[in-house]
């Protein structure tokens, strides 16, 4: 609902943070996030967020995504509204993203996707 006094104002976000995991799998055998534990990372993130009581409106949403077109940096996940991209390696990285960023709003600098890496 727009603010009638300020029709250009952005409405409040339904979620405080929204993380998308690329789960894309390529059947031709070429590189894709699914070949690097993306499903396991998604499942782990979702269960950690739920266990921490962070899931739901006004809090955190964990979503599957198709190819995010940054395959060269994969596996990747992106957190909005900050638009922070992560390239993770293992499940301890997911634990750190949940604890630091999703829970406490602190970006995990060491896992940031290099800005020049795209497809
Ligand atoms: S396959 Fe994951 S970003 Fe393209």
Mean pLDDT on 6-34: 91
* Among the listed residues 117, 110, 102, 105, the one whose alpha carbon sits nearest the alpha carbon of residue 69: 117
Tokens read off for 54: 């962070």
Ligand 1 midpoint to CA 27 (Å): 13
Mean pLDDT on 90-115: 97
The number of angstroms, rounded, from the C-alpha of 37 to the middle of its chain's C-alpha atoms is 14
- Domain boundaries along the sequence of the chain: 17-111
Q: Measured from the CB, is residue 32 less than 6 Å from ligand 1?
A: yes
Tokens read off for 97: 């993203």
User: How sure is the predictor about 10, in pLDDT bands with cuts at 50, 70 and 90?
Assistant: confident
Residue 45, SS3?
Answer: helix
Mean pLDDT on 55-80: 97
Q: What CATH superfamily classification does 17-111 receive?
A: Glutaredoxin (3.40.30.10)
Ligand 1 midpoint to CA 118 (Å): 9
64, 70, 117: residue to mutate for ligand 1 pocket, most atoms within 8 A of CB: 70
| pLDDT at site 11 | 82
* Among the listed residues 50, 65, 57, 51, the one whose alpha carbon sits nearest the alpha carbon of residue 19: 65
Q: Which tops the pLDDT comparison, 51 or 9?
A: 51
* Exposure of 47 in the CB half-sphere (CA atoms within 13 A): 7
């Amino acid at each position: 609902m727009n603010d009638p006094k300020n029709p250009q104002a952005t409405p409040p976000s339904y979620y405080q943070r929204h993380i998308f995991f690329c789960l894309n799998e390529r059947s031709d055998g070429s590189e894709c996030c699914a070949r690097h534990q993306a499903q396991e990372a998604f499942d782990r993130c979702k269960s950690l967020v739920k266990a921490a009581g962070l899931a739901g409106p006004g809090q955190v949403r964990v979503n599957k995504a198709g190819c995010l077109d940054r395959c060269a940096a994969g596996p990747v996940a992106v957190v909005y509204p900050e638009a922070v991209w992560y390239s993770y390696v293992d499940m301890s990285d997911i634990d750190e993203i949940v604890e630091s960023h999703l829970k406490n709003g602190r970006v995990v600098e060491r896992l940031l996707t290099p800005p020049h890496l795209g497809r």
